[in-house]
């Protein structure tokens, strides 16, 4: 998952509205969002290589989503799969705060990540990379890509602005998926420096990424209502 924009406690009777794109190599095997046979209360897509997931919810309205940190230094091969961070939370009976208390002891076992998790009452951002490692979220609109929460990358700023406009006009679901399909690249002068080549910075700069071997594979719209009910709609692209 490489781009997430979400509104937390801004919409009456709806605690969370989240729109997200998952970016990944096309060769990595994936299962579309569904109820998990080994955890029937969990609804999420699944990474069939490591068994985890990038975004999901459960029958109690708990939710979690993940992005990797991009730093250009490469990933540690021996690190644990980051997808288990979302899967383990959704499988557990822990609330978000208790889960994060346990996670602090093992966070260094993973390559760099951002984790969003919560339920209809509270939401948190946690990272094992950023200086401010944990934050209880206040009402607002947030954006997250492969830097820190609300890092002013062009794709984050563009997505947040479009997302806010859709919320204000009570747009239908199709409009959110249209936003997530935006392939506009950023000007070179606005690109972040994350340690990868200029060619890769350009390729990764749109909301929706296109290339022969890597890109946006699924778009997701998630709502968690104040009642604890949740709806996750996924559009598989590739």
Sequence-ordered list of residues with C-beta below 8 angstroms from that of 155, at least 6 positions apart, any chain: 3, 145, 186, 205, 206, 207
Q: Whose CA is closest to 72, among 144, 147, 157? A: 147
In a domain, 184, yes or no: no
For residue 1, what pLDDT is reported? 62
- The total domain count for the chain is 1
Residue numbers of the domain that contains 41: 3-151+212-236
106 SS3 class: coil
pLDDT tens track for 118-168: 999 999 999 999 776 899 999 999 999 999 999 999 999 999 999 999 999
The pLDDT assigned to 131 comes to: 74
Q: Average of pLDDT values for 77-103?
A: 96
- Note whether residue 65 is domain-resident: yes
Residue 183 falls inside a structural domain: no
DSSP calls for 2-21: -EEEEEEEEETTEEEEEEEE
Residue 142 sits in a domain whose CATH number is: 3.60.60.10
**Residue 165 within a domain:** no
The pLDDT value given to residue 105? 93
Does 59 map to a domain?
yes
Does 104 map to a domain?
Answer: yes
Residue 122 counted as domain residue: yes
In a domain, 67, yes or no: yes
């Amino acid at each position: 998952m490489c781009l997430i924009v979400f509104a937390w406690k801004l919409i009456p009777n709806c605690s969370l509205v989240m729109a997200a794109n998952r970016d990944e190599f096309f060769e990595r095997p994936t299962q579309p969002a569904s109820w998990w046979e080994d955890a029937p209360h969990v609804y999420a897509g699944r990474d069939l290589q490591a068994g985890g997931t990038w975004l999901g919810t459960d029958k109690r309205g708990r939710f979690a989503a993940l992005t990797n940190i991009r730093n250009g230094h490469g990933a540690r091969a021996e690190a644990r799969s980051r997808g288990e961070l979302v899967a383990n939370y959704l499988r557990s009976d822990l609330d978000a705060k208790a889960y994060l208390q346990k996670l602090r002891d093992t966070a260094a076992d993973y390559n760099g990540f951002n984790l969003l998790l919560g339920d209809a009452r509270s939401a948190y951002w946690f990272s094992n990379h950023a200086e401010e490692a944990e934050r209880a979220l206040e009402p607002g609109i947030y954006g997250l890509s492969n830097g820190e929460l609300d890092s002013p990358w062009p794709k984050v700023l563009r997505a947040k602005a479009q997302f806010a406009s859709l919320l204000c006009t009570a747009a239908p679901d199709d409009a959110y998926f249209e936003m997530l399909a935006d392939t506009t690249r950023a000007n070179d002068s606005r690109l972040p420096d994350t340690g990868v080549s200029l060619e890769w910075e350009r390729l990764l700069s749109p909301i929706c990424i296109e290339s022969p071997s890597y890109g946006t594979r699924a778009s997701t719209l998630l709502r968690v209502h104040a009642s604890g009910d949740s709806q996750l709609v996924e559009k598989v692209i590739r």
